[in-house]
Amino acid sequence: MSDASEKARPGLLRSSALVGSMTMISRVLGLLRDIVIAAFIGASANADAFFVAFKIPNFLRRLFAEGAFSQAFVPVLADYKEQGAHDAVQALVDRVAGVLGGTLLLLTLITVAASPIVAAIFAPGFVSQPEKFQLTADMIRITFPYLLLISMTGFCGAILNSYGRFAVPAFTPVFLNLSLIFAATVASPWFDEPVFALAWGVFFAGIIQLLFQLPSLYRLDLVPRPVFDGKDEGVRRILKLMIPALFGVSVSQINLLLDTVLASFLPTGSVSWLYYSDRLAELPLGVFGIAIATVILPNLSAHRAAAREDQFASTLDWAMRSVLLIGLPAALALILLAEPILITLFQYGALTPTDVDMASLSLRAYSLGLIAFMLIKILAPGYYARKDTATPVKIGIIAMAANMVMNLAFVLPLLWYFNVGHVGLALATSASAWLNAGLLLRGLLKQGVFTWQPGWGAYILRLFAATSAMTAAVLLLGEGADVWLDWSWQRRSLEILLVCGAGIAAYLLAHVLCGTRMRHLRAPGAV
């Protein structure tokens, strides 16, 4: 390995830790938000309607702001930075802001005007329930402008990430959580239908998050001044990469949205059960998986622009090891502690013990695919940093088709025989994620872009020993779900902290005893 590579890795570790810590604050507040929402609306028909209205712009946000757009924009921006001309970078930012903002403004206006049609498309099962359907359509009118606001926020965040300013974009989601907590606890009495407070909370959160980014961009002298110029060379390069990338990088999100569509036909509460379980699975994915992906994309793009192929491969290897280091124990913990975690966090107010049982089943199903979800986040940049959009598109289509087939294969039997059709949706999503991740990895290996660095055998053994120790500690200290239901929230909180703390301590201690050291986290090639 070169000296440059050796120096890069600690930078990646520190940057990932920074993004992860900022994201952790956001996710903890996100959990508090979901606790408040669960107590406020539970898994009722109103809850199903809000979650659909919120999920539509949130899903599209992940395409335009965090997914395909970011994967297309950052490599092009890296090329402009490599050329060293600030005026050229500013011109690119201005024109991308104009085209992205103008397109999303038009989409927002159309969607707001046609909200009943949108509701029928994304939740067709609600059509037979007029009140639930109308409530969903009304809330879509309020929540959908969030797409425009948060996509522009994501655009600003991509610029900041490219210049190594990771903290502000990572902290920004905190304001969505604070806004929704305020809406549920303070603003809800102001409305005849209290659930509308949550919809307006989403809207105002978008405004606040966008404004929060602007001072940091001002310090870089890169505040966007929108210019609509679809013929600009940089814009056309981004669009060329972005359009096919919509499928390649966002397959897991599309699969989750398909789950929502199908869940609308299942018993009332199914959408909410999937929401609560997905939120918990998203915690480690957001804190660690997306944090690592956020950090490596600018690095991969810079390595590619400077033809540093060895550093490119070692960065991907480092990312894979980091994902397994966190993802494996996180997935096992969610499987082992599904009921206790859900009871501790959500089983208050409107959410019933039956809701907890149902959500725990789908949480376990999502957890089976957690590592795959993380791997997709770090493997896709390996293609897009090299401006290869065709391969992820093909893989994405295969994974989507497989997910649709598996939805029918899993949902119908589980619905008919056990009345848990929503679990089949989660299982299909996890299985298709593994297919997607496996094909992405195979492609990188075949192209010679990714190569296994030395030390993987020892690394796997350390992981196995550490996760075994953690599992033993959790099983030894854990209590049955019925016992947790009888405890106060204080006792629940104390017990979950004790069990999780013991599991983490056992995991870390086993790693240390097996020889894991900080240098192994910084240098993928060390044994």
Q: Give residue 212's pLDDT.
A: 93
Q: Give residue 132's pLDDT.
A: 79
Q: How many CB atoms lie within 10 A of CB 218?
A: 10
Q: How far is CA 326 from CA 93, 125, 371, 469, 500, in A?
A: 35, 38, 9, 15, 14
Q: Give residue 369's pLDDT.
A: 93
Question: ∠ at Cα 360 (333, 289), nearest 5°?
Answer: 45
Let me know: does 12 contact 324? Beta carbons within 8 Å. no
Q: How far is CA 333 from CA 153, 368, 472, in A?
A: 33, 11, 11
Q: Give residue 8's pLDDT.
A: 38
Nearest to 381 by CA among 300, 443, 287, 449: 300
Q: Give residue 242's pLDDT.
A: 75
Q: How far apart are CA 206 and CA 210, in angstroms?
A: 6
Residues of the chain below pLDDT 70 = 1-20, 23, 40-45, 62-68, 84, 244-257, 259-260, 286, 297, 305-307, 347-351, 518-527
Q: Give residue 490's pLDDT.
A: 83
Dihedral of alpha carbons 325, 256, 239, 226, sign: negative
Q: Give residue 472's pLDDT.
A: 94
Tokens of 493: 């909180």
Give the domain ranges of the chain. 3-453, 454-527
Q: Give residue 348's pLDDT.
A: 65
